[in-house]
Amino acid sequence: MANQNSLPLYEKFWYKHNYKRVTESLLSVLLLWLLGYRVISINNYSFPWFVAFLCESWFTISWFLALTTQWSPAVTKTYPDRLLQSVQELPPVDLFVTTADPELEPPIITVNTVLSLLALDYPAHKLACYVSDDGCSPLTFYALQEASKFAKFWVPFCKKYEVQVRAPLRYFFDKPEVSTANNTPKFKQEWLKMKDMYDQLSRKIDLDSFTKSNPCLGEFATFSNTERTNHPSIIQTRVSGLITNAPFMLNVDCDMIVSNPKIVLHALSILLDPKGEKEVAFVQCPQQFYATLKDDPFGNQMTILFKNLAPGLAGLQGPFYGGTNCFHRRKVIYGRSPDNIEKGSGISDEEFKEKFGASKDFLKSAAFALKGRIYSPNDINISNVVDVASQVAGCGYEYGTGWGKQVGWIYGSITEDVLTGLTIHEKGWRSELCTPSPIPFTGFAPGGGPTSMAQQKRWATGMLEIFICKHCPIISSLFRKLTLRQCLAYMWIINWGLQPVFEVCYACLLAYCIITNSNFLPQDLGIRIPIAFFAIYKVYTVCEYLAAGLSVREWWNNQRMSRITSMNAGFCAFLSVLLKLLRISETVFDVTKKDLPPTGNVLDDKDAGRYTFDESVVFLPGTTILLLQLTAMVIKLLGLQPPVPTPSRNGSGLGEIFCSVYLMICYWPFLRGLFETGKYRIPMSTICKAAILTCLFVHLCRRIITS
């Protein structure tokens, strides 16, 4: 499609942070020194010493995995103007929006995402938007119907006045955009008219008014006997492979609105570049958030993580597929590898049928996609498209085919997005990061407590499932085409589900040493090693936040929440996968609740940053860890520790006390939760369970002492 003799449509630049490399190298040396010190300190060998060595060994491995992922960051620069000059005709793009529950994901949020996609700066006849509602909600369908009517006025308004943020939910409640085009009386009149139309749309979509005035009659009758988790395929829309069959696809979550209307042109600058056409399978845009709380009290905005991780991955085989904000090549999703990109399907008709299913219409569309052909109007038979679409959209169509194994999104993990990206990378494809200015997409970060924990638990669970499946990065690197450093990068994020086990052990070790009057930290000059690491690491991370324009308070919020999230959501994820391996239970995909963004000033809400709890088991590990530390400190203060067994041994010292106090400070939201009321209080059932576990732990420690 692109002119082979033209200038490159995008370029990648690698860069270095020398001060960052020096500091990280120093921290690496300190970690290795600490492990070496433990090995050579024969006189200190004990059970706590051995457990500490195991945990610190894993922390060192995790540190090196993070280090190699971020060591050679890169940035990509796109040239959409060159794209427009080098292609005769822009290709069609299919847009996918996914939603699953009208209560957890309010339809008005989905509507705003769809409206922002329809208003993209791209030829309208080249775009087709599809909404996948796994919850089979008549309300969502009704909302989209009403949104399509509003879009006929909204899209021209956005393009006429060059509106930047094209989701009305944000546009009408943020500070007005100022430009020469909209600084006129006519604009103000049209603005008021559009605002009134959007308010009417919002009221129509209101759940109560819909259920009262729109029973499942007429065109909604097909929804009358359906269940959210068990329903037939209902086609009131179109299936992309049978209708448009665009060579490129964008998928977004229902809350990720477009913030840069030219993002399609930026992404296609990579995908249509002569080199990109041969090597790049998908283009990932980062996740960023709007209407955020000041100083990130819940630690869920992940600003620094994305700032370091995304460029680091861009310097390797490419960023992971994040499940949203991603542009795909359809032929890659259909199983094409870079080795045979210029060839045909390469398989027999029978094998082709076994891979894609029995639908002749779909087999035709798949053949078109794999050959890089684009549908013309004559290729589409509208008369039977609904019947065929109903057939291929059903779950039963996949049985006995390659869907979920070789074709489409890959099954086997509740984070099937990361698993799908991994299977693409292991074929030898690269991916690229696209970060134009302004940022391409923005979403709404989950609230504190239950919602955030559920999301983190789902991520960690899915990562561990990838580790134990046949697409494990280690296997993909040894026997397929996943590069070594990309393998280590995948292992780093998989470590989100493994590291919590060692963090929980380390936290329990603190309480154990104080209760039994033993130690795991060096008592001689060796204590300087962990002290130096702790001090340098904290100063280093503070500087990272300050350099990014963030506050010290936000740094601290992220520091403490990283401990809370890991030892609660991450540890529960590990237990979930363990139960799956033992075939006791299966892992479950929990939809993240998406609250409507606040329309007022979130700074005026004093309770906006307060941590909330529910009766989920995800809060049990943290509550237990907190009670363990409190119990250990009480035993220490009351002098109930046993005497040191032998003169050659040392009892617990200031190091253990400091670490325990630091951990309790990190768990300040939980400490407050013991005494708060309402949703800000840890449920009594959770406290009772944690108290029982704490008593058992103390009893075990006493038994060890007496034996």
Complete DSSP assignment for 337-368: -GGGTTS---S-HHHHHHHH-S-HHHHHHHHH
Instruction: Tell me the backbone φ, ψ of residue 647, rounded to 5 degrees.
Output: -60, -25
User: Quick check: 415 and 459 in contact, CB under 8 A?
Assistant: yes
Q: Position of tokens 């599809």? A: 130
User: Quick check: 169 and 136 in contact, CB under 8 A?
Assistant: no
User: Quick check: 529 and 646 in contact, CB under 8 A?
Assistant: no
d(CA 30, CA 38): 12
User: Quick check: 557 and 299 in contact, CB under 8 A?
Assistant: yes
Helices (H) then strands (E): counts for the chain? 27, 10
Exactly one of 121, 134, 206, 614 is catalytic; which is it? 134
d(CA 263, CA 269): 10
The tokens describing 409, both together, are 């999104």
User: Quick check: 355 and 407 in contact, CB under 8 A?
Assistant: yes
Exactly one of 101, 133, 255, 417 is catalytic; which is it? 417
d(CA 249, CA 95): 6
d(CA 641, CA 632): 9
105 is in an annotated binding site: yes
End-to-end CA distance of the chain, in Å?
A: 77
Looking at this protein, which amino acid is placed at residue 269?
S
Element (DSSP H or E) covering residue 257: strand 257-258
Total Cβ atoms within 10 A of residue 615: 13
607 among known catalytic residues: no
Total Cβ atoms within 10 A of residue 1: 17
Task: Compute the residue count for the chain.
Answer: 707
Q: 598: cis peptide before it, omega within 30°?
A: no
273 among known catalytic residues: no
d(CA 241, CA 690): 52
The tokens describing 8, both together, are 């490159």
Residues contributing to the annotated binding site: 105, 134
Question: Catalytic site residues?
Answer: 134, 417
Q: Which residues are annotated as a binding site for UDP-alpha-D-glucose?
A: 105, 134
